[in-house]
A and B are shown apart, each in its own frame.
Chain A
Amino acid sequence: MSYHLYTVGKPTAERRYVEKYWKEVRVGDFIRLRCNEILPADVLLLSTSDPDRLCHIETATLDGETNLKQRQVVRSFFDLDCDFDPLKYNGIIECEKPNNDLNRFRGYIIHRSGRRDALYKENLLLRGCTIRNTEEAVGIVIYAGHETKAMLNNNGPRYKRSKLERQMNVDVFWCVIILLVMCLFAAVGHGLWMFQYGDKRPVFDVLSPEGTDLSPIMSAIYLFLTMIIVFQVLIPISLFVSIEIVKICQVYFIHQDMDLYDEETDSHLQCRALNITEDLGQMQYIFSDKTGTLTENKMVFRRCTVAGVEYSHDANARRLAMYQEMDSEEEECTSHGGTLPRRDSVTSHHSAPVVVLRSQSTKSHRRTGSRAEAKRASILSKHTAFSSPMEKDITPDPQLLDKVNECSGQMDFMRFHSQPMSQLPSDLSDIIDFFIALTICNTVVVSSPNQPRQKVRMRFELKSPVKTIEDFIKRFTPSRLTSGSNSSSSSSLVTNRSSNKGCSSMLSSPSAESTLTKLDEEHPRGGLDQAFSPAPPSYDGKLWNLEEGELRYEAESPDEAALVYAARAYKCSLVGRLPDQVTVELPHLGKLSFELLHTLGFDSTRKRMSVVVRHPLTDQITVYTKGADSVIMDLIKPPNTGNSKGKRQKKIVYRTQNYLNLYAADGLRTLCIAKKIMSKDEYACWLQRHLQAETAIQGREELLYESALRLETNLQLLGATGIEDRLQDGVPETIASLRKAGLQIWVLTGDKQETAVNIAYACKLLDPEEEILTLNADSQEGCALLLEESLHYIQTKFLCSATDQAAKAFHANFAPFEIYPSSSPPSSSHTIPLVVHRLGLVIDGRTLAYALDKSLEDKFLAVARSCRSVLCCRSTPLQKSMVVKLVRNKLKVMTLAIGDGANDVSMIQVADVGVGISGQEGMQAVMASDFALPRFQYLQKLLLVHGHWCYSRLANMILYFFYKNAMFVALVFWYQFYCGFSGSAMIDQWYLIFFNLMFSAFPQLITGTLDKDVSTETLQQLPQLYVSGQNSEEYKPYMFWMNMIDAFYQSLVCFFIPYFAYADSDVDLFTWGTPITSLALFTILLHLGIETKTWTWMNWLSIAFSVALFLTVALCYNASCPTCYSPSNPYWTMQRLLQDPLFYLLCVITPVAALLPRYFYRACQGTLFPSPVQVGRQLDKLPAETRRNILSLSRVKVGSPLSPEPPFLSLTKPSPKGCNKKDQRGFPGSETSQAKKGPVLPADEETGQRSPLEPSDSEMGPSDIYTLVPKEIDAPPYTKDAPPFLEERRPPSDKDSECLDKTLELSERSLSSWITSTPLLAQTDCVQLTLPPDGGSRCVKYTRNSEERLPLDHAVHPAHGTEQMAEQSLHITL
């Protein structure tokens, strides 16, 4: 219960605010809040103490963003001079119904005068936010209680049911059926039993209390109901409770994992969904966002092009490389630090060399800078998200820096001499415009680190942005506009060091000081002096630097911050931002204040943002636009080629586009910067319509959108920037490992195709050896055609050509794990046979939209699922979720979506498991997710280790539970045959109750929580083990029945051994029943013992505790009350039993007899036909050194269930003699598979040790493989691959085996030389499927730059070697 008192004002006669509880806040109340108070409701801001009529709020509780947000007072209350008086308020507010959209609020306020003022989300303070930096704010409550946006967003945790639980529920249903069958059987039995006596009533038959006789049928019906109660234990209600307990423990352990803890951000994994931990072990598809998920979303300015001239920022690149080197000591990868740039001369991203270089260069600088440094940075500035020194300290390009200096120097000179600025050479003016655009075209808030929550005020005047036409006319009267740099203009914000005119005083002391004093009054806490000390008009670099060091930028998107930092490196620094003005400090020129007329914020449809400012030097109304190159380039004013200026423009556009392509090819995020100068008439015209749009109630978004479109036309291109979004740590390794685990990884990104493809190469999602199918269509038909073609292509290439070596290689390498579940033959497999080829699919957003159409989705899926990697670019959040939904529903697979931003929320919610990266793009993704990770690479451990454990633990526990209940209930059932099916039980009623509740409850919980089938290390190093979860191998439907059969068998044993042992004796009911109870308990515990893989002291303790508890309870119970517990009253039974040797004899033989079959089965299976998981467990038993050797070789044949030779049995005794012998005999087989693995090896298996994709790789590749071959020969016998006949059995089709036979005929010599003569990269194919936009020519071209691999027949003659390589291009005309 919160007792926060809040000052809620009512227009009472006393004219004062009274304190109220949150719960008493009602809609329409006036509320006054002070600094650092939390908003109790959604409040419309009517007044603040801030002179700008602003209120700063922190929205961390809503979206996790820690930067301050500004909210504005409703416009009509803007000009109130005195304090807001609720008594005088008499407007009517109309607004939309409560909804959960945090970023939207529409409504208007109707004043007494009838004037309507629109209300925006900027006017609304949302519940849960904290007031910061604002002394006092007054508002009126719009939504209260559960109608607040925060509460409406708070859906509580979603309930997802895991696959395992769904599967389990089916079996629970079966349990019900079994129960009913048993009851029915007993009822019929009882009816017959009654019937056989006919009219003769035996002495032991008891009449009803009334003394009447029941007919057999009636008693059968009664008995049916009785039996339901007796057997109800079969329905495992306790199972549901136990599952919840185990899941909570699992969540606890996942939370506690040190490996999932990120020191940099001091965050650990959060499990937000408590009931789907085991789903983590069953994932089949991963859908990943790119930005912020695979990449760090730490934007680093890398290079730019201004006015068609490229500045490569080599020094900056070197600096970035240095950050990497600090880290790379422990990494073996050879760092090519300084040499990484200037690779952009390679034009095509499809060609292998670029890819190789790209992956190398990315690798060499993908680190964030040293961890220690990052940590320091995060300690220094806990609140700012984007402040790592790597992002801030940009080394300027000397050439460009010179130009900037020269330019500003000239401008200074011109201003001094009152020359018009238009005389500036256009290239120089472009440069200065470019940097001004970088600096002001954003929403970055400037703050000072000393007072982190204070905005820096460099205030020269108080003026609101243009809000009305009158305002506009007033402010833009011709006289003032023409006054230009006239000092008398109050709006001119020129600060001039040498100016003797009035404005200089604005810059220096007087006005600044007055602001300061005002601030001082407002913030009596003091400590503001240093923060607000007005910058003295000094221009020497030192002081400038000093001040610069103190400024900090808080941006909503990291790109913006990166650009502002980049501009600052060129001494063009943002020093202050107010709603109506932006202050920029330029070299020579000093501080310039741009009057900010409008900000058209970024949105994803426009993909750009613009600011409209009045340039202080030229006094022109200038629009600066920054946005994605694709949209900006379309908005560029078509250059008039007639004059030289136009030609220049055209050249700039052309060149810039070229550089943009290069940047994209280099994996950089590109942004174009453009500007436009508007005449005041144009502006007035636009403004009028814009204001209409702003005040519209209906369809305001659309109107504003159109208004923005009208403004952002005919732009003049200034330049472009390339920002690098660095890969997160360990992303390629994680992807490789997840892929080895049989997971399909799809990347769904909003980024450009080129950038996305490059990042995909960098993170090893796409492989240089893979063919890439690129689908870009402009129409539905085109898309259909493309899909058709791709399908056809895939079929011809992979399915029909059995001799295709590449496909073969893939089969051989992945067959055991990816294609078919290893434990079952392919035909009986329930999972879809995932025939995955070495293909990559790249599809863009538009094509995706067509492909997701109902008519095409099946084809799209058919294509996509046969590709190893799928990359969807330019996809909208909705498309992302549609893709996930499509795959999940159509392929019936388990999907995981991982993302970090708000655009991933829908995808995260749709997927079976949603993972949010608690990164830098706010908390929306985390809020929507089931698991929140600090880093992408933790996904590996989360899935491979925790997922596997959670799944196998729970699956085993559920099976055990079914077994346990069935086994216990069946005991009573068998007894019915000996008590006339009367529902009598030989097990005491209290034992019946406590058996599940206490006696057998704890060990299984401990095992379900702690059991580790395979150790962390092995699971991570052998990702293939994950497949067992994907195929649900721990819990298949037949296993339920096996367990049931086992349970019935065991209960038969536990029933009939005592039965025969006590047959024909004078044993009484409970003296006979109590041993059975004990036996059942021991059997059940020992059964658990067989199923338990790791025995910690807690397992021992729990089992000992269970036994002790049973004996104690039994002894106490049997000694407690001689007359109670009717009807059983087992007084002194246990005590007598403990003196009976027969009891002990039974206790020894029964569990052994009951568990013998299961133990025998387990032993045989574990020894002779170990599953991959069991092999992994055997690996765990080996000494660490041996294990590491085996794992590093990665030749573990864990996937061959038919292996007649247990792979690790011979492992412990590698005798040299046997070794040689085996090598000779086994060589062809191992060679074969080695050959097949060849091409895959460097990419998939060797990433950890060395990077084969070094620049000189095209030559190195083959030799790499060659070196691996001798290794194989030298290897001890346990590395030997399965003997040849194994290989024959595995491939599913006849063709395959036929082909294999051929392979096997090859001699070892020919094979090995064949391998060496095959260039690694030769098979890189590129299939570009593009349709011309008109779709008229209908030509699909497969460009196949492939050097065909040697057909097998030729491989017998090694001499031919590379000569056989043929270049082939394939044209298909439709």
Chain B
Amino acid sequence: MVKQEKEFVNRPDNTAFTQQRLPAWQPMLSAGIIIPGFVLIGLAFIGIGVALFVTSQSIQVLEVDYTGVEQSSPCFKCSDPDVKNCVCKMEFNIDSLFKGPVFFYYGLSNYFQNYRGYGVSKDPNQLSGDLDSFKVPSDSCAPYEYVGKTPIVPCGSVANSMFNDSFKLYQIVSGAKIQVTLDGKGIAWWTDYNVKYRNPSVTPLKNAFNGTVKPTFWSKPAYELDPTDPANNGFINQDFLVWMRRAALPNFRKLYRRITEGDYAKGLPAGNYSLEIAYNYPVLSFDGRKKVVLSNVSWMGGKNEFLGIAYLVIGSMCVVMSIVMLIVYAKFKFPEEE
């Protein structure tokens, strides 16, 4: 026998794999499976859709456009790029309790933070506190790399174009303005604040910036961004971090503050409010819009009805399809029984 086996040196292996006989599941797209499957998927989706929609409905959003395009707008006077240090006030009122925690966003429209040349224009080494990069910023920052021969820190277009409007929110209670405490901590990603961005380990921070200049559009150097909190300066300034995280789409909002402290932690009560805006950022040159958004959030983020509707639509489509198929199937399957 052994000898005989040796005769067949070329005999292929008789295994399920080589003979292509592996056990296999053959899903058959037959009506019997598809129709119930579609119905099940459709129903599940409708369920999810309803839940999402309801959740989304419960979220309150308040948007205040302060670009000042219309002449009636209080900020119209500030929209002229020649006017410096302009402050304008927007008044609005809240009908019912705006449940907390309320998130305070600023929003920009028609602003292409995702523009390719713009996004590239930064030096990650510099931003992680590398002092060598302070002296010689990365070429990617050009043309916001040097002023003359002095390096710009933080260099690049993204940092240069940092949003520099600031807001103060007051509740007007019987004529009196009560300032709403805005919490500027923890608005950036934890990893950005702790890992990705670092100030150079030089104390005081100001010394690290010797021999450098601030970005051309900035009014204050990086180490003086937040005079109230020394830990919120340099590259780990929360507003800076938020700005540096580029928005995906041209209409975006960025978190400015949270209202989590003090009397307004539970929400903004109904009433009149006044928003005091230090209007610095020019957007009209590119037809941009600026707005302030107050919103509370749910487990699924901000207010967005789309996903709930999408689930509902897709779910209903599945059900409709299954019904269509059932009709067609029934018509053709049982022609004798008509």
Contacts and interface: CB of A to CB of B under 8 A. Distances in A.
A, B in one complex = yes
Nearest to A1095: B25
Interface string A1152-1172: 110010011011101110000
B70 to A, nearest CB: 20
Contacts of A417: none
B250 A979 contact: yes
Contact of A1167 (B23, B30, B245): B30
Contacts of B115: 204-206, 979-980, 982, 984
Residue of B139, B192, B249, B304 with most partner-chain A CB within 10 A: B249
A1003 B28 CA distance: 20
Contacts of A982: 112, 114-117
A978 B249 contact: yes
Contacts of A1225: 336
Contacts of A1205: 332-333, 335
A949 B125 CA distance: 55
Given A1057-B310, A1131-B191, A1098 B335 contact: no
B307 interface: yes
Contacts of A1168: 328-329, 332
Interface stretch (A755-763, A853-861, A1068-1076, A1108-1116): A1068-1076
B285 A206 contact: no
User: How extensive is the interface on chain A, given as a class?
Assistant: 35 or more
B101 interface: no
Contacts of B318: 1152, 1156
Contacts of B112: 202, 204, 979-980, 982
B143 A206 contact: yes
Contact of A1010 (B20, B140, B157, B282): B20
B2 interface: no
Given A204-B161, A1129-B124, A1152-B45, A1065 B302 contact: yes
B24 A1012 contact: yes
Contacts of A833: none
A1153 B300 CA distance: 20
Given A986-B114, A1062-B249, A1166-B29, A1069 B310 contact: no
Interface residues of B, number: 94
Given A210-B143, A1066-B254, A1152-B45, A1166 B30 contact: yes
Given A1123-B125, A1204-B335, A986 B248 contact: yes
B294 to A, nearest CB: 13
A206 B121 contact: yes
B85 interface: no
A1149 B314 contact: yes
A207 B336 contact: no
B73 interface: no
A1068 B246 contact: yes
Interface stretch (B6-14, B165-173, B270-278): B6-14
B12 to A, nearest CB: 4
B120 interface: yes
Nearest to A985: B116
B196 interface: yes
B311 A206 contact: no
A1282 to B, nearest CB: 12
Contacts of B317: 1156
A206 B48 CA distance: 44
Interface string B17-39: 01110111111111100100000
A1 interface: no
Interface in B313-338: 314, 317-318, 321, 325, 328-329, 332-333, 335-336
Given A202-B286, A1131-B195, A1152 B314 contact: yes
B119 A984 contact: yes
B92 interface: no
B118 interface: yes
Interface string A233-277: 000000000000000000001011110010100111000000000
Interface in A1008-1060: 1010, 1012, 1016, 1057, 1059-1060
B8 A263 contact: yes
A256 B12 CA distance: 5
B335 A1097 contact: no
B12 A1063 contact: no
Nearest to B111: A204
A1145 interface: yes
B142 interface: yes
Contacts of B242: 1066
A1256 interface: no
A1201 interface: no
A266 B8 contact: yes
B290 interface: no
Nearest to B28: A1181
B310 A256 contact: no
A239 to B, nearest CB: 23
A200 interface: yes
B87 interface: no
B237 interface: no
A211 B105 CA distance: 33
Nearest to B252: A1066
Contacts of B143: 206-211
A1095 B249 contact: no
Nearest to A982: B116
Contact of A202 (B11, B48, B138, B285): B285
Contacts of B189: 1132, 1136
Contacts of B118: 204-206
**Residue with the highest number of chain B CB atoms closer than 10 Å, among A209, A257, A1162, A1205:** A209
B131 interface: no
B63 to A, nearest CB: 9
Nearest to A230: B116
B113 interface: yes
A1060 B309 CA distance: 11
A1067 interface: yes
Contacts of B251: 1063-1064
B328 A1066 contact: no
A257 B34 contact: no
B69 interface: no
A1054 B26 CA distance: 28
Contacts of A520: none
Interface of B: 7-14, 18-20, 22-31, 34, 41, 45, 48, 52, 105, 107, 111-122, 124-125, 127-128, 138-140, 142-143, 157, 160-161, 189, 191-192, 195-196, 217, 242, 245-255, 282, 285-286, 288, 299-302, 304, 306-307, 310-311, 314, 317-318, 321, 325, 328-329, 332-333, 335-336
Given A266-B9, A1060-B307, 16 more contacts: A209-B142, A255-B12, A266-B7, A1065-B253, A1065-B302, A1067-B252, A1072-B249, A1096-B25, A1098-B22, A1123-B128, A1129-B196, A1145-B52, A1145-B311, A1149-B311, A1156-B321, A1206-B333
Q: Kindly list the 7 A-B residue pairs having the minimum CB-CB distance in the complex, ordered from nearest.
A: A202-B286, A209-B142, A1072-B248, A1094-B24, A206-B117, A256-B18, A984-B116
